[in-house]
Each structure stands twice: as C-alpha cells, then as structure tokens.
Structure 1
Amino acid sequence: MWDAIVGWEGWSGIGAVGGWTVTVCLLLVGLAGCFIPVIPGHLFILIASIFHYFAFRPDSGVEWWTFVVLVALLAASQAFEFISGAAGSRWFGGTKWGAAGAMVGGIVGMFFMPFGLILGPLLGAYAFEALFAKQETAPAVVSGVGSAVGTLASLVVKLIVGLAMIAWFFFDVFFVG
C-alpha cells in the first residue's frame, strides 16, 4: 500500500550505507535521550527501528514482534519514570503528600532542565510535606531526598532499557531476521 501511495522503492538512491547511517544516527540520538531528559530517547529508538523496517523492506530483518517488544519496553520505562520520584519519597518514609509533591515537582522541574529534573521532585516533596502534611523539617527533607533518589534510579533504568532496546533491535536484524 505504501508503494502505491508515494511510489516508495526503498533507499536505492542513497543505498544501504545511507539507510544504515540514518538508522544508527537515530539510535544514537535515542541513546543520548536516555541521559538528556529533553530528548525522548526510547521513542527515537523505536522510530529508528520503524525507519529501518521501511527503508530496507522486505529484507529489513525486523520482525513485527520486535515492535511489540520495543513499545512494551518504552511504556514500562515511561511508567517507571513517572512514578519513581513519588515511590522514592514513600520508600524513604514520606507521606502521600510528599509523593504528590514529588510528582508535581517532577513535572515543574522538566521546564528547568537539567537541574530541575532532580531539584523539582526534591523541592516538591519537601514543600508538600511541610505545607500540607505539617511535617517537621527533618522528615520533610528525608522525603525530598527520597524523591531525588527515586528520580536518579529512573535515569539508570532509562539507560538500561534504552540499551536493551538497541540490543533487541540489533539481535533481531542480525540474528533472527
């Protein structure tokens, strides 16, 4: 159907080297996005596999179940990233208010990259603990530190999932497909 719509005939104009260059560049941007919060790293890795599929079809080596696995890994990582600050706050003994503050702080912190990613949940958990849960300074600070630890854990998980996605892609292309 794609061929009929746009007259697509693959990358015959730039060849396999050009197609692989674009694929690898997208994968590298995706890997960088695991470190740089502004770049949706896992999404770029998924886009790289989709690009590779269409650029080299029917011999791309990418099977349909690879897309299922990559989307599942992307969704799991995003869910973990979203709740990690709140979970860290609760794990360190914070109240529900501290967890809510970590989530709000994480959202606000996204607008103040790169330091806002760590300081947002920390300050949000502290502020909500102090203002709404009426916690003393020490428990509020512990809750804030817990949210920062949770956020740092999510960065590690993002990197591990990003590397797993890239490894899965190459495994499928070279060993399965």
Structure 2
Amino acid sequence: MDILLIALGLTCIIVGFLGSFLPVLPGPPLSWAGLLLLHFTTKVDYSIQFLVITAIVVIIVSIMDYYIPIWGTKKYGGTVYGQKGATVGLIVGIFTGPWGIILGPFVGAVVGELIHDNRDFQKALKSGFGAFLGFLAGTLMKIIICIVFAYYFISAWITG
C-alpha cells in the first residue's frame, strides 16, 4: 500500500508543479495532496501542525492567484473592462497553447480597455502590462510553493 501512496503522491507533486503554470490544473492543491498521501504511508509522519499550516498556505495562494492579476491591472490604471478582458484572455489563452497562456491576460486587458475607450491606446497597453505582471507574480508564487512542497516530499521520503 505504501508504494501505491508514494507513487500517487509523487504524481500529485509533479502534476501540481505543472499546474503552477497551466491554469487548468490546480497546482498547489495537487502538490499538497501529494504531501498528504505521503503522510498516510508508514514511512513518513508529518505533524498535524505542518499539514494544517501548509493547507492554509495553499488556500491563501489559491485565493491570491485570482486577485493578483486584477490588482496588477488596477495598479497600472486599468478599469473593470481591462480586468474582465485579462480574465477572458487567460481563459482563451488556455486553448491556444503556452504562448496563449502567457500573453492571453495581456492581450485581453488591452482589448478590454480599448473596447471601453478606444482613444487611449497607451492606457490600454499599461493595463495589459499590469495584467501580465500580475499573472507572472501569481505563477511565480505557485511555482515556489510547489517547489517547497516537492522538497518536503522528497526529503521526507528519502529520510523517512
């Protein structure tokens, strides 16, 4: 049974890492599930405090991931149209491959701002840049969390 739990846990860690930059996969929650699966083996016994703290971190990061691109758009002068455009751009970008995922929020925010006010292209670009920075910040945050979880998984598995 331990081998199955370890294999499933390792799969969750790997898929969770991929989910850090692929919006269709919940990266940090999957990585946390990998830690939880390893906890249920006879080899590793994480403390309840560790599991609760890491779960809280996952919840906070997951919530922040939705708001950081919106905040980035606002911070750079974007309106609600730019924010909605960034969201639509991200969703459309999922279906167009890696470049779509990266550039989707930017293009969406620019288009959203131009729909709102097509006279101010500079403002639209600034809003798109804010959405792009927000997307990058959220992605980086998720990648860091997944790397930390992978470290805890591997170190506990090896030493456990």
When normalised by structure 1's length, the TM-score is 0.72
Give distance in 1, aligned partners of 2:102 and 2:12.
Answer: 27
Matches within 5 A, 1:13-162: 19-56=5-42, 60-162=44-146
Alpha-carbon contact 1:45-1:166 (below 8 Å) kept? yes
C-alpha deviation, 1:160, in angstroms? 1.2
Give distance in 1, aligned partners of 2:96 and 2:64.
Answer: 21
Gap change, CA 1:76 and 1:111, over 3 Å in 2: farther
C-alpha deviation, 1:157, in angstroms? 0.9
Write out per-residue CA displacement over residues 106-151 of structure 1, whole angstroms, 9 at most, x where no aligned residue.
Answer: 2333333322222221122112211124551111112112211211
RMSD of equivalent CA atoms? 2.8
SS in 1 for 2:25: coil
SS in 2 for 1:55: coil
Gap change, CA 1:135 and 1:170, over 3 Å in 2: farther
Gap change, CA 1:129 and 1:157, over 3 Å in 2: same
Larger radius of gyration: 1
Give distance in 2, aligned partners of 1:78 and 1:135.
Answer: 36
SS in 2 for 1:47: helix
Gap change, CA 1:61 and 1:89, over 3 Å in 2: same
C-alpha deviation, 1:165, in angstroms? 3.0
Consecutive unaligned residues in structure 1, runs of 5 or more: 1-10
Give the AA of the match of 1:70. Answer: T
SS in 1 for 2:96: coil
Give distance in 1, aligned partners of 2:49 and 2:155.
Answer: 13
When normalised by structure 2's length, the TM-score is 0.79
Alpha-carbon contact 1:37-1:113 (below 8 Å) kept? no
